[in-house]
Amino acid sequence: SDLQKQEERGELLQPLIFVFLVLCSVLLYFKVSLMDPGFVKSEEEAEAGKSEEQSMVIPQVPSNIKMRRCGYCMVKQPMRARHCQLCQHCVRRYDHHCPWIENCVGEKNHPLFIGYLSVQLVVLLWGGHVAWSGLYFEQSWGWLQHNVLLLMSFLLIVIFTTVVLLLLISHLYLISCNTTTWEFMSHHRISYLRHSELENPFDQGVVLNLWRFFC
């Protein structure tokens, strides 16, 4: 492959960058998997921990929509929170429970989750290029025997790249609208959205939505 040829010539910059990106993706994976996504731990924390964003948009939601008590963990849910039955906790600004990381994506780890997807996409695209550069096609059984693992790796990388790219694009779109996957998929079931005069009371424009999410 290209990286092997560079290593043999003593050109170690790109191989080291590639290894560094792989290590970063692994570390980000464990960080996003193991960190607190924004669990609502008690009634006092739920009241004290309301974000500035929530306090700004509450006037746009009908006044009869009150904080409700979760029927599972018995805490008062802040607006945009939802109980995850897999994690057994209510999660602030709940987006979804990701089986890939075995954790919820919520208020605290959502930006890091986007960072993880971005780094992973770069690694997959580069890995696909490396795998493709090592393939020299010949119509012979011997060639297939010697290249079957590399060919399978390339096909797997293509599949994972497609999944990660679609996931990243969908999340960036929802972030630009200041909505979550849960709100987007279940708009008709959520009281503060169903009774709101606005289709999305949290939307403050693409630039401000992105700024508030990432900064």
Residues belonging to the active site: 98
Number of H helices, E strands in the chain: 9, 5
Residue 153: alpha-carbon gap to chain centroid: 24
Rounded CA-CA distance 112/122 in Å is 15
Write 80-85 long-range contacts (CB < 8 A, 24+). 80/54, 80/180, 80/183, 80/192, 80/202, 81/40, 81/46, 82/182
Rounded CA-CA distance 32/11 in Å is 33
Question: What does 146-209 look like in DSSP terms, one character per residue?
Answer: HHHHHHHHHHHHHHHHHHHHHHHHHHHHHHHTT--HHHHH-GGG-HHHHT-SSS-TT---HHHH
Tell me which residue has tokens 């306090």: 55
